[in-house]
Chains A and B, each alone.
Chain A
Amino acid sequence: MVGITTTIPLEIPLAAGESILDLNNLFVNHETPQELIDKAEMAGFPRNTCGWIKGIYGAIQNFDIRKVISVTEGDCSNTRALMEVLSSQGIKIIPFAYPFEHSEKALAGQIHSLAEQFQVDTAQIGQAKKHLDLIREKIHEIDRMTWQEDRVTGRENHYFQVCSSDMNGDLDRFSLEIDSFLAEAGQRQPLKEDLRLAYVGVPPIFPDLYPALEKLGARVVFNETQRQFTMPFPTADIVDQYLHYTYPYGIFFRLEDIKKELEKRRIDGVIHYVQSFCFRQIEDIVLRKNLSLPVLTLEGDQPAPLDARSLIRIECFLEMLRAAKGAS
């Protein structure tokens, strides 16, 4: 079993017959995720450090994970320090980087070295990609049914897409779960929320964001990062695939994808989620400058239900969007 700190070329460990666990999902879906954060703080992680980093650390300890693929470039520098702490505890760390220069040559080098670590060749990786792509296509259909047919809630859209980072640790079981969801959702009447939202940024640490929005009459029909996890673009090989993947390559590359989807999905407003103490909070400046739609920046720290301060921001934002819609 191998843990991952964020999305990596899943095809490679899969080709080697490894089972893969996204440590973020392991953390946030834990019965008491706060305990995992407490574990990290007891070990000395500062209070003003990203909750995801602490949660990943806690999950590794809790589930006694001994091997981790850690993304050292394209994600945050906190991951590097986390990797150092873990390796000092005897946990095997396999580094992987999405090179900042975003070139085919540099990424191919990284993919080659990861493949060497797992002792798999191009043909085996190609096979694994085919297998994964079949599942990914079905998740793309869930996404399409979200924005085009209005049959899928924001949380369902989030769940199936976010789980594609590790296919819930079991490809066949996850594939069956998707099949049964698609059959059920296909029978539904279209949902009736009057506001269509985009959610951009890392996945939320709040467990109740999507239902809270829907209770207030607004539905997320675009989950930016989660959708990226599903590799929503046809590609022939994995180097090409992870060059198209926007999440690790900076805000301007992400914005190209975001802008296209905002228009296609007829979005009324954007929620930019930022994690407390994350460098991506700074990217909010660029994001706001480049989007013409209203943006609500929502900050989360710990894995707990939305607090009163966040709710008040959400309700004001939705009222503002409604007033603007009524006036136009």
Chain B
Amino acid sequence: MTALGIDLGSRRIKMIAFQDKNILWFKSFDTIPFYKQYSGIHEGKLTIDFSAAGVDIEFQEKAIPVVATGYGRNNIDLENARVIPEIQAHCKGAEFQTGLTTFTLLDMGGQDTKVARVENGLLVDFIMNDKCAASSGRYLESMAAVLDVSLEELSRHASNPIPLNATCGIFGESELIGKIIEGHPLEHLCAGVNNALLKRVLPMLRPFDKDTLIVTGGVAKNGALICLLETSTQARIVVPPHPQFNGAIGCAAQAR
């Protein structure tokens, strides 16, 4: 191992080990149990018991560089790691995974959706969603639970979306329940959820060039949303091989 990248996300914690510029292994944990079981605070810094978490601790023995990112660089002060801003990690991850240096990045994670513009390898502008989970992966999770379908099933449907207008993830649930009672087919309900998320994301994309759109984060695995994005933006959409690990990859790629 030559570098370890860690993305401390709001829903999942992701780790990536590099051997030179190749990915050696991935690991992903549920955030809350992870913090409960493996983390602590030592002299004001966040500590992680890597060995208990089942992570190869070769990097600790050999003083291999660790780079981390997550919820506010100033909130996570991970012991023995260099902490970089989230947007930087995601842009570098996208560059590493796609080889592109000019693109618009749409990262849709558990609670945050970010749009960033990178030109010739330089971050030139970005925005993040307002303080509301209705434009993030969390919305898909709760809607899938209401519909009693898996995220995979939810992600299959983009046609004939039933209109959903709730601007709030919580009220969105009751709106969806109302539509179920009206007797709409499950496929149309799923498409409606995906389309509602699209409608929240499109205004964020509006100010940015849409030549190449790299989509990362867990939501990039939602094929229906990618389809809807393609139709509405006319952009060349690129989903890198490991969209959920993009931030951690960006961290590992920044190790020195």
**Which residues in window 220-237 of A have CB below 8 A to B?**
none
Is B95 at the interface (CB under 8 A from chain A)? Answer: no
Rounded to whole angstroms, the CA-CA distance of A300 and B124 in the bound complex is 24
Is A294 at the interface (CB under 8 A from chain B)? Answer: yes
Rounded to whole angstroms, the CA-CA distance of A324 and B72 in the bound complex is 21
* Cβ contact within 8 Å between A323 and B122: yes
Partner-binding segment picked from A114-122, A257-265, A308-316: A308-316
Partner-binding segment picked from B30-38, B57-65, B80-88, B245-253: B80-88
Partner-binding segment picked from B16-24, B125-133, B141-149, B230-238: B125-133
The contact of B207 among A288, A317, A320, A324, by CB within 8 Å, is A288
* Cβ contact within 8 Å between A323 and B207: no
* Cβ contact within 8 Å between A316 and B88: yes
Rounded to whole angstroms, the CA-CA distance of A311 and B131 in the bound complex is 13
> Which residues of the other chain, A, contact B131 by a CB distance below 8 angstroms?
299, 301, 309
B120's closest neighbor in chain A, by CB?
A: A327
Is A179 at the interface (CB under 8 A from chain B)? Answer: no
Rounded to whole angstroms, the CA-CA distance of A228 and B162 in the bound complex is 50
Is A172 at the interface (CB under 8 A from chain B)? Answer: no
Is A193 at the interface (CB under 8 A from chain B)? Answer: no
Rounded to whole angstroms, the CA-CA distance of A144 and B226 in the bound complex is 52
* Contact A315-B122, Cβ < 8 Å, known A308-B75, A309-B131: no
CB-CB contacts of B94-123 with A at 8 A, as 1s and 0s?
000000000000000000100000000011
Is A319 at the interface (CB under 8 A from chain B)? Answer: yes
* Cβ contact within 8 Å between A319 and B122: no
**Which residues in window 232-268 of A have CB below 8 A to B?**
none
* Cβ contact within 8 Å between A312 and B123: no
Measured between C-beta atoms, what is the minimum distance from B89 to chain A in Å?
Answer: 10
* Cβ contact within 8 Å between B74 and A315: yes
* Cβ contact within 8 Å between A320 and B126: yes
The contact of A312 among B72, B124, B125, B127, by CB within 8 Å, is B72
* Contact A316-B86, Cβ < 8 Å, known A299-B130, A309-B128, A311-B74: yes
B127's closest neighbor in chain A, by CB?
A: A297
* Contact A316-B85, Cβ < 8 Å, known A309-B131, A311-B72: yes
B128's closest neighbor in chain A, by CB?
A: A313
Is B25 at the interface (CB under 8 A from chain A)? Answer: no
Rounded to whole angstroms, the CA-CA distance of A294 and B124 in the bound complex is 8
* Cβ contact within 8 Å between A312 and B122: no
A311's closest neighbor in chain B, by CB?
A: B72
* Cβ contact within 8 Å between A319 and B85: yes
**Which of A299, A311, A312 has the most chain B CB within a 10 Å cutoff?**
A312
Rounded to whole angstroms, the CA-CA distance of A315 and B131 in the bound complex is 17
The contact of A320 among B72, B87, B130, by CB within 8 Å, is B87
Total number of B residues with any Cβ neighbor in A under 8 Å? 20
Rounded to whole angstroms, the CA-CA distance of A102 and B7 in the bound complex is 53
Total number of A residues with any Cβ neighbor in B under 8 Å? 20
* Cβ contact within 8 Å between A312 and B86: yes
Measured between C-beta atoms, what is the minimum distance from A268 to chain B in Å?
Answer: 14
A301's closest neighbor in chain B, by CB?
A: B131
* Cβ contact within 8 Å between A294 and B125: yes
> Which residues of the other chain, A, contact B125 by a CB distance below 8 angstroms?
294, 320
Measured between C-beta atoms, what is the minimum distance from B156 to chain A in Å?
Answer: 32
Measured between C-beta atoms, what is the minimum distance from A314 to chain B in Å?
Answer: 9
Rounded to whole angstroms, the CA-CA distance of A299 and B126 in the bound complex is 15
> Which residues of the other chain, A, contact B130 by a CB distance below 8 angstroms?
299
* Cβ contact within 8 Å between A319 and B71: no
> Which residues of the other chain, A, contact B88 by a CB distance below 8 angstroms?
316, 319
Measured between C-beta atoms, what is the minimum distance from A309 to chain B in Å?
Answer: 6
Measured between C-beta atoms, what is the minimum distance from B39 to chain A in Å?
Answer: 17
> Which residues of the other chain, B, contact A323 by a CB distance below 8 angstroms?
122-123
* Cβ contact within 8 Å between B85 and A315: yes
B71's closest neighbor in chain A, by CB?
A: A308
> Which residues of the other chain, A, contact B75 by a CB distance below 8 angstroms?
308, 311
A215's closest neighbor in chain B, by CB?
A: B74
Is B27 at the interface (CB under 8 A from chain A)? Answer: no
Is B73 at the interface (CB under 8 A from chain A)? Answer: yes
B69's closest neighbor in chain A, by CB?
A: A312
> Which residues of the other chain, B, contact A312 by a CB distance below 8 angstroms?
71-73, 85-86, 128
| New A-B pairs, 11, CB < 8 Å, besides A215-B74, A309-B128, A317-B126 | A216-B74, A299-B130, A312-B71, A312-B72, A312-B85, A315-B73, A316-B126, A319-B123, A320-B124, A320-B126, A324-B122
In the complex, 23 of the A-B residue pairs with CB atoms within 8 angstroms, ordered by the A residue number, are A288-B207, A297-B127, A301-B131, A308-B72, A309-B131, A311-B74, A312-B72, A312-B73, A312-B128, A313-B128, A315-B85, A316-B85, A316-B86, A319-B85, A319-B87, A319-B88, A319-B123, A320-B87, A320-B124, A320-B125, A320-B126, A324-B124, A327-B122
Residues of A in contact with B (beta carbons under 8 Å apart): 215-216, 288, 294, 297, 299, 301, 308-309, 311-313, 315-317, 319-320, 323-324, 327
What 7 A-B pairs come out closest when comparing CB atoms? Answer: A316-B87, A308-B72, A312-B72, A311-B72, A316-B85, A320-B123, A319-B85
